[in-house]
Structure 1
Amino acid sequence: MGFAQAVQWWEAWQLRVLVLSSLFLQFFLFVAAIARKRRPPPWFRFLTWAAYLGSDALAVYALATLFNRHNDRHEEPVAPSAGLEVLWAPLILLHLGGQDGITAYSIQDNELWRRHFVIAASQIGIAVYVFCRSGWSGDGRLLRAAILLFVPGAIKCLEKPLALKKATATSIVNASDLLMVDAIEDEDNGGENGAAPERMDSLEAFVQAARQCVNEEAEGKNPLYFDVETNSHPYQLFVDLAHPYCIRLKNLQAMAAKKTGREDAHGRVRAAVSRAFDRFYTKHKASYGGLLRAVVVLLTFVVIGLFQERRRSRYARADVVVTSVLLCCTAALELVSASVVLCSGLPEPDDSVAQYNLIGCLARSKKKKHRRLRCLSRLLGFGHQLDWIGNTERRHRPSCRITKLVHDHVASGWTGYRDSGDDGKVAAADAGVSKGVETVNDYRQFNDCRGQRTLKREGLFPATAGGGKAIGESLSMPFDESVLVWHLATEFCYFDHVDAGGEATRYSRVISNYMAYLLFVSPGMLVPGARRKLFQAVYVELREMLKEKPWESEDEDDEEKVGKKMKKKKPRAMDEIARTIIQKVRDPPTRPCACPRAHRASADLVRKAWDLAHNLMEFAKKKVDEPEVGNGDNSKGKKIEPVDQAKKGDDWMWEVIQGVWVEMLCFSAGRCRGYLHAKSLSNGGEYLTYVWLLLSYMGMETMAERMQRTMELPAEGDPGALVRTSALDDDEEEEGKPTVTAPTGDSEAVTE
């Protein structure tokens, strides 16, 4: 086929190829909408992004081609295929409306709703023009079929920009105020489902009420509120707006319920994440969506019946086949889509915990194929993306148990130290150590803890109280450095110390690897100002340690004695690499370091990590030597086996490490902006969002409160209170400047 013949073929088949390609992209987007909640691989996300952008462009191109064909025929006789082609116009409008499960690909798409509205309006106008310019030759059935499809097609085409508008920050703020009106009125009226506390106009009042609520739930008394459901609208948290104190108390009671709070916490938070995803990225939260889907499905099957009754011999066979495929496939797609909207909905979001291990990254970099790919990717400028894809573990860890650890940590903040075990009993060693949050200062100190509370409970913080110097320094450095130091220290303790293999060991490493993952992949979510380069600098430092030969730290006269060591194979397994690094930092070279300052800084972090691990292991040994409190069997001559003693020390050490990591996880979650949490949902979400929502539901400090702290002055007012315009008559508004009153108990109005 020559070039001229190819051009001629394309002119004849152009519109058919475009509409069929548009149909194929809609099927792919439907599958992608279901899979994107389950943390799909990067290559699938790229295809989804390309299909999301290409589907709109392809639909617009198809309508433009249809417009040009009918615009060129105004002086020519109407072709028989014109009637069928006009039937394709409303189908293309349905495609332009997109799939219900993928209205927006990223959070930024919601702010482009005006552009989508203009595109939708212009394409509807083109479809109307095609209707007017086409000649129907008395074919009334096809005319009725096209009109039946055009109405829902135009509505669905306009539905997409409206759904995008509802997901913008401005719309969520306005909608949140309307949703909270009932909650404020319920608080004013004393509560519908139980006795509500007095109006809370300050953080101090909320802290006292929250502490009373948790204590009553823990003691099995009558709850403050009778309902045990959390607020089902978490959207305003994603725009950094706090719930009113009354809603926060109800959420706290539901999460602190003695029988169901701890066990149902993960499911409730996961449901909230799913609802937030539906609001930001789908049409599933549209109140009219189900009715429109049902109408579209019904009309599509009606059009299929009208088309089948029509005499089709007058049309080209290719056009008849294309029309049949378009109608049947569109009907099937709309039917399945309507079933998802009206019945089951999209699947629950992925709640696994991503993993990124620094030692494991070193082990993978030793492989030749990885080195070659890394060199090629760096030449092309994709080195960071390859490191992210290649070194992030594909097997993510389940997070339900970690959610329970976070729940226990926050609950112990309200009630005092409690054992983190499944039985929920108060630990004997911890009884009476802390009375929990009682004042605003206690409340803020608890929200600012990033390991100090666990170490203080065990007598390891501050250093003057019995803890080592390295332990205190590890919490006083910047948070990103602290995460790296504790991540390496956790690995050093795991590979160098006798491991009991308990749950604390497992989940300590899971949280440690997840925090390292956040630092490397999403440093902005870890903490504002976190430095990814810090992670890379430590990685380079560890890699240089593995390259150093053992004889480089010895005298030059002894080089011949160790010359045969050059032929030894480099370590590849994680345990061998970890032990090699431990040997390097345990026995550093005696020569002064002449390396650059940046290199020395990363080397200092590795050294501090070993000092921290060494302190923890030494205190574990001291814990073994401590006598049992209240154990009368020992006085009768019962001998404790050395293995049991070592296990006791290991269990204590890993409980401490686990407690520190849980506090660091909460510290990071409380300092991440709601916008970043919403943004991460487009790629499957981060487990940090689960922790963030759980902290909010359990009454912890929000980002807005933290940014508006008054250090010396009392925190007055409710930061989540509704701000509304006061008017004596709803039908009449006073001319001039409006008067705005905040429902915080003040009788004075603020006049602008």
Structure 2
Amino acid sequence: MGFSEAVQWWEDWQLRFLVLTSLFIQYFLFVAALLRKRRIPHWFRSLIWLAYLGCDAVVIYALATLFNLHKDEVAMDTHIDTLWAPILLMHLGGQDGITAYSIEDNDNWRRHLLISVSQITVAIYVFRKSWWSDDRRLLRAAILLFVPGILKCLEKPWALKNATVTTIMTTPDSRLEATLDKDNVRKDILSLDKYVQEAAKSVQDMADKPLDEDDFKLNVKVGDKPYHLFVDLGHPYFVRLKNLQEVMAPRGAREAAHGMVRSSLSKAFDHLYTKHKRSLGGLLRAAAVLLTFAVIGVFQESRRNAYNRNDVVITYVLLCCTASLELVSACFVLGCGLPSLDDQISQYNLIGYLARNKNYQSFWSLASRLGCKDRLDRLWCTEPPEPSASITKLVYDHVARGWKEYMNKPIYEVVMTGDWEWYGVKTAVGAFRRFNDSRGQRTLEWEGCEEMEELKSSLRMPFDESVLLWHLTTEFCYFEHVDTGSDATRHSRVMSNYMVYLLLVNPEMLVPGARRSLFAAVYRELEPSGCVVELEPTETILESPPKTKDEMARKIIQKVKSTIGSDDLVHRAWELAHELMELARKVAEKVEKDLRKTKEEDRKNRVEGTKLTEEQQREKEEINKAKEVEEKKLVIRAKKAGDDKMWAVIQGVWVEMLCFSAGRCRGYLHAKSLGKGGEYLSYVWLLLSYMGMETMPEKMQRPELPVEGDVGGLVKSISDELSDKPAQAGRLLGREELEEVRKVEAARADAAAATRTVTSSVTRMENEPQGGRIPAQATAATKATTSAAAVAPIIGDDNV
């Protein structure tokens, strides 16, 4: 076949090829719509993106080709390809399960509307110009096809418009309307303080309430339509109280909460990215199916033999395949709907990443030269995902405990009205906000670890640094300590790996301003020039690379132990892990001591006042043999108790960090992540909202600024200092109390200034010859000691 013959063949088959390609893309998009909620490979998701973009391009190209074929021709009775125009309009409407590929596509509804109107005009023009008048049956078939074609073509921009942020913000909240219709719901809760008081009281009342048959059923309507939350519009306080009561009242809510949140996110996905669950969608689907099958019957009765045989075959293929696709799609819309979102937790392990890089150095070196290493790191270096239902239960337990044991106790809040004007109010809002701002402080308080300096300081760091620090600490504790196989160990590592995954892949969701570059910085610290043991001169990388994470972790720990004194993040993580392991050791020693004491008392009570016979003596010898086994069991039990304590602290800190991150991520980012399969952080975020926690808009619009010097965490603020002192709720501070507050702040300022003086003096002494410096240092140290001593009796703080 020569070039001219190939060109002629392409001109004859171009339109046929385009309509068949459009049909294939529609089937591919239908299958892709069923899978895009799941965890699918990135290359397949890229194919979905190409098909989504190519769908409109192929249809527009086909209609333009059809227009060019008939623009200069008179009506002819040998052409049947004009019947393909309404079918192409149906293809332009797209599949119901993939209206938008990303959240940004919804804002392009005007462009899609313009495209739809222009292509409808082209199709009608071609049909009017080229249609013959003697085949009435085929004319009726074409008209019947234009009805669903035009409706589907216009439905897509309408669905996109309904999913925009502006439309959602102006749409009435169905949950609010449903709550307003109930007469037994209190609607006078207009302040945050009143809401927190009522919520804490309701939770306590529900805990004391006797069991009822209905108390084991979770009201699934709580998360029926959470669309407003994705545009950062929170519910009024009385609606949030009602949600909290319905989520926490049932005794089976802890197990059902994960399924409820998953269902809510799936409904949000359907609203934002599909045409499913529209009010008129079912009627349009039914009409499209009936009319398409009716057209097949009408076409069967027409004069098919008068047309080109190839065109007749392609017309049959288009009609039958399009009708089948519409039928199956209608079953999903009117029936079961799309599958639920994937509820697995993504994983990324820093030590595992380092081990892979060492095993495939040549490949990653080439990727680095090509400039695609960062992209490949985010796509291919993830660990296998983990189930998330157990983590959701931990979040539920954490929030429930907060309502029962922390937020039900009002504390003093000190509010500044001027430079030196203060007033204190005893309110529940302070505890509510502190609980929502916790990054591990509540766990240290509940586990009795407030005095552990390394733990406290690790929670005062920037959040992204704290995530990496605790990730390395968790790995060090796991590989250095014998794994007891507890659930807390597994949960801790799952949350640790997920938070690092967010830092590398979705840092904007972790916390505003999270720095992905920190990951690379820590990686450089762990490279062979840093903490990984160098190979011996006789060894090569190919002969003995660290094949597994275990080997790599032990090499890192060995190197860190030999270079104690550095102040980088890796060494700080080891110091933190060492303090946690010391906690486990102390708890194990205490438990072992208590167990030994109990056994000795029992043994003493059994033998006291009795004289052993020979038979009893033999029995005693056998008992002594069994004692050794009991001793080993006792040691194992004590060690397990210490390990459980250590992992309980680590697990609690990670749960709080997870909640802290979820509470500071915008709803828009959660909505955006749904288009890529969703993030588990969205589960936590939505559960926190249903359980009455502080929302992102509330955090941004807090009316009172914290008192200067109040850094939160475990450092006592003025509100903490006053919470232990008796006062009446809502009254202004008296003169004596005001003077006491000023004295505290002045003493703290003196202590801080003196500490800075000591630091600068020591620095100068290190750089200058000895002599004449000791008195200055002693004076500064005396000031620091005196200032700290002045603060301690007033506020009782050991950490000043």
Structure 1-normalised TM-score?
0.84
CA change 1:678–1:563 in 2 (3 A) is: closer
Check if 1:202 corresponds to 2:191. yes
> What corresponds to 1:571 in structure 2?
546
> What corresponds to 2:155 in structure 1?
159
Q: Is the 8 A contact 1:415 1:436 kept in 2?
A: no
CA RMSD of aligned residues (A): 2.5
> What corresponds to 1:497 in structure 2?
481
Q: Is the 8 A contact 2:179 2:185 kept in 1?
A: no
> What corresponds to 2:501 in structure 1?
517
**Letter in structure 1 aligned against 2:13:** W
Q: Deviations over 1:339-374 (max 9, x none)?
A: 000111000000000000001111111223xx3432
C-alpha distance in 1 between matches for 2:105 and 2:517: 30
Q: Is the 8 A contact 1:22 1:55 kept in 2?
A: yes
Check if 1:449 corresponds to 2:447. no
Q: Is the 8 A contact 2:203 2:248 kept in 1?
A: yes
> What corresponds to 1:582 in structure 2?
557
CA change 1:233–1:629 in 2 (3 A) is: farther
> What corresponds to 1:388 in structure 2?
378
> What corresponds to 1:740 in structure 2?
none
C-alpha distance in 1 between matches for 2:257 and 2:639: 35
C-alpha distance in 2 between matches for 1:293 and 1:199: 44
C-alpha distance in 2 between matches for 1:133 and 1:280: 39
> What corresponds to 1:676 in structure 2?
669
Q: Is the 8 A contact 2:282 2:334 kept in 1?
A: yes
**Letter in structure 1 aligned against 2:390:** R
**Letter in structure 2 aligned against 1:164:** L
Q: Deviations over 1:508-558 (max 9, x none)?
A: 00000000100000000000000111011111221235786669xxxxxxx
C-alpha distance in 2 between matches for 1:646 and 1:703: 42
Structure 1 window deviating more from structure 2 (631-640 vs 59-68): it is 631-640
Q: Is the 8 A contact 1:240 1:703 kept in 2?
A: yes
> What corresponds to 1:625 in structure 2?
589
Shift of 1:317: 1.0
Q: Is the 8 A contact 1:546 1:581 kept in 2?
A: no
SS of the residue corresponding to residue 344 of structure 1 reads: coil
Check if 1:106 corresponds to 2:102. yes
C-alpha distance in 2 between matches for 1:247 and 1:8: 69
C-alpha distance in 1 between matches for 2:600 and 2:147: 85
Q: Is the 8 A contact 1:301 1:331 kept in 2?
A: yes
C-alpha distance in 1 between matches for 2:189 and 2:529: 58
Q: Is the 8 A contact 2:144 2:291 kept in 1?
A: yes
CA change 1:689–1:549 in 2 (3 A) is: closer
> What corresponds to 1:612 in structure 2?
576
C-alpha distance in 2 between matches for 1:451 and 1:471: 9
Q: Is the 8 A contact 1:40 1:683 kept in 2?
A: no
Q: Deviations over 1:413-464 (max 9, x none)?
A: 00027xxxxxxxxxxxxxxx99699710000000000111101222222xxx
CA change 1:236–1:181 in 2 (3 A) is: closer
Runs of 4+ that moved beyond 6 A = 222-227, 565-568, 628-631
**Letter in structure 1 aligned against 2:548:** A
Q: Which one of the candidate residues 137, 146, 166 is aligned to 1:150? A: 146
Shift of 1:667: 0.4
C-alpha distance in 1 between matches for 2:600 and 2:432: 42
C-alpha distance in 2 between matches for 1:634 and 1:64: 94
CA change 1:550–1:383 in 2 (3 A) is: closer
Q: Which one of the candidate residues 327, 334, 340 is aligned to 2:326? A: 334
Check if 1:348 corresponds to 2:340. yes
Structure 1 window deviating more from structure 2 (219-228 vs 54-63): it is 219-228
> What corresponds to 2:741 in structure 1?
none
C-alpha distance in 1 between matches for 2:203 and 2:486: 30
> What corresponds to 1:270 in structure 2?
262
> What corresponds to 1:708 in structure 2?
701
CA change 1:349–1:378 in 2 (3 A) is: same
List aligned pairs for 1:100-499, cutoff 5 A.
100-177=96-173, 179=174, 182-183=177-178, 185-186=180-181, 191-192=182-183, 195-197=184-186, 199-220=188-209, 228=219, 229-368=221-360, 371-393=361-383, 395-416=384-405, 439-461=428-450, 465=451, 467=452, 469-499=453-483
CA change 1:659–1:686 in 2 (3 A) is: same
CA change 1:308–1:616 in 2 (3 A) is: same
Check if 1:690 corresponds to 2:679. no
> What corresponds to 1:58 in structure 2?
58
CA change 1:328–1:703 in 2 (3 A) is: same
SS of the residue corresponding to residue 527 of structure 2 reads: helix
Q: Is the 8 A contact 1:103 1:281 kept in 2?
A: yes
C-alpha distance in 2 between matches for 1:564 and 1:41: 41
Shift of 1:564: 5.2
Q: Is the 8 A contact 1:104 1:110 kept in 2?
A: yes
Q: Is the 8 A contact 1:94 1:157 kept in 2?
A: yes
C-alpha distance in 2 between matches for 1:454 and 1:106: 38
SS of the residue corresponding to residue 78 of structure 1 reads: coil
C-alpha distance in 2 between matches for 1:440 and 1:675: 27
Larger of the two Rg values belongs to structure: 2
SS of the residue corresponding to residue 353 of structure 1 reads: strand
SS of the residue corresponding to residue 443 of structure 1 reads: helix
C-alpha distance in 2 between matches for 1:546 and 1:654: 28
Unaligned runs of 5+ residues in structure 2 are 412-426, 604-629, 708-800
CA change 1:311–1:564 in 2 (3 A) is: closer
Structure 1 window deviating more from structure 2 (452-461 vs 504-513): it is 452-461
C-alpha distance in 2 between matches for 1:358 and 1:181: 45
C-alpha distance in 1 between matches for 2:403 and 2:47: 47
SS of the residue corresponding to residue 396 of structure 1 reads: strand
Q: Deviations over 1:53-89 (max 9, x none)?
A: 0000101111111111110214xx62602xx211101
Q: Is the 8 A contact 1:415 1:435 kept in 2?
A: no
> What corresponds to 1:537 in structure 2?
521
**Letter in structure 1 aligned against 2:177:** D
Q: Is the 8 A contact 1:102 1:282 kept in 2?
A: yes
CA change 1:712–1:517 in 2 (3 A) is: closer
Q: Is the 8 A contact 1:511 1:661 kept in 2?
A: yes
CA change 1:363–1:713 in 2 (3 A) is: closer
CA change 1:497–1:319 in 2 (3 A) is: same
**Letter in structure 1 aligned against 2:56:** D
Q: Is the 8 A contact 2:467 2:499 kept in 1?
A: yes
**Letter in structure 2 aligned against 1:151:** V
CA change 1:564–1:70 in 2 (3 A) is: closer
Q: Deviations over 1:255-303 (max 9, x none)?
A: 2124221111001100110011001100003111111011100011100
Shift of 1:200: 0.9
CA change 1:500–1:63 in 2 (3 A) is: same
Q: Which one of the candidate residues 485, 490, 500 is aligned to 1:506? A: 490
Unaligned runs of 5+ residues in structure 1 are 418-432, 552-561, 591-599, 715-752
CA change 1:221–1:705 in 2 (3 A) is: farther
Structure 2-normalised TM-score?
0.79
SS of the residue corresponding to residue 304 of structure 2 reads: coil
> What corresponds to 2:790 in structure 1?
none
CA change 1:544–1:90 in 2 (3 A) is: same
List aligned pairs for 1:11-30, cutoff 5 A.
11-30=11-30
Equivalences, count: 659
